[in-house]
Structure 1
Amino acid sequence: MLVSQILKAKGDLVFTVSPQETVGAACALLYSRKVGAMVVLDGERVVGILSERDVVRAMAKEDTAALAKPVSAFMTQDVIFAEPAESVDSLLSRMTDRRVRHLPVCEHERLIGIVSIGDLVKWKISEVEAEADNLKAYIATG
């Protein structure tokens, strides 16, 4: 299973925020959109990711004062990307190694989607279930 296949099924909607937006406003967007992270865009360029984990760290460091600061002060700047031709197994491994839960998908430096660890695990489970069903059918036909 490739990332491009997942994006075809789930869609290419990516919630974004600007680096100048306040952390408080970004938190409201995370909550209202029911997502765990947003890609930070400066124009068309991905400059970071703001995740719930980043917000927790900001609050622990600066308390409620963090809410008035810009997203750029707390976003993860070292963004790890996925490409459409990458496999689910490859991304699961990378996400586990780097301890990240969201990967923006870019093609020719253009943001085309996002995948979460949940998306990948869902596809992996469906792949394993299909494999098990095929084996059961094979055994049953003897």
Structure 2
Amino acid sequence: MKVCDPVSLILRKKGGTVWSVPAKTTVYAAIELMAEREVGALLVVDEGHLHGIITERDYARKVVLMGRSSKETPVSEILSEPLLTIAPDCSVDEAMRLITTHRIRHLPVVQDGKLVGLISIGDLVQWIAFAQDQTIEDLSHYIEGKYPC
């Protein structure tokens, strides 16, 4: 594991399940699905076309604080767009740079126009922590003379 590894390795490890809703879904139904699946965001997809993302933050800022009804408001009215996406061969380091630079928490992974996964800041932090642990272990083995040739 290294920070130069492609995000496709993270997707392979975490599995390919991506939770999404159509644009006409009510915000209430989307929030219910987030709670049910224990996720903080859903992609908004219609007929294979990625429109944007709806997050708990969107709900708080664009529904609750604006006094709107979550049972009447479609996600299309509050989703975040334009959506920044990455390719599966994007490095973990570059994905982390994009997330921190753009102050976002999720990056959809798209290959040849097709959605193949979703990477969160948590996924990236976990990968980087494991990579650092592995580096420390490798260096310790090297110093102790136990490093494989």
- TM normalised by structure 2 equals 0.91
RMSD: 1.3
| CA–CA separation in structure 1 for the residues paired with 2:98 and 2:71 | 31
Q: Equivalent residue of 2:66, what SS? A: helix
Q: Which runs of 5+ in 1 are unaligned?
A: none
Match of 1:6 in 2: 10
Q: Is this contact kept in 2: 1:37–1:50, CA < 8 A?
A: yes
How far the C-alpha of 1:135 sits from its partner, in A, is 0.6
Residue 101 of structure 1, aligned match among 82, 105, 118? 105
2:52, 2:132 → 1: CA distance? Answer: 33
Q: How does 1:1-142 map to 2 (within 5 A)?
A: 1-141=5-145
Higher helix share: 1
Deviation at 1:28, TM superposition (A): 0.3
Once residues 104 and 72 of structure 1 are traced to their aligned partners in structure 2, the CA distance between those partners, rounded to angstroms, is 18
Write out the 4+ residue segments of structure 1 that deviate beyond 2 Å after TM superposition: 59-64
Shift of 1:52: 0.7
Name stretches of at least 5 consecutive residues in structure 2 with no aligned partner.
none
- 1:8-46 alpha-carbon deviations (Å, 9 max, x no partner): 111110000010000011110011010010010011010
1:62-104: per-residue Cα shift (whole Å, max 9, x none)? 3252441100000002101011000000000100010111111
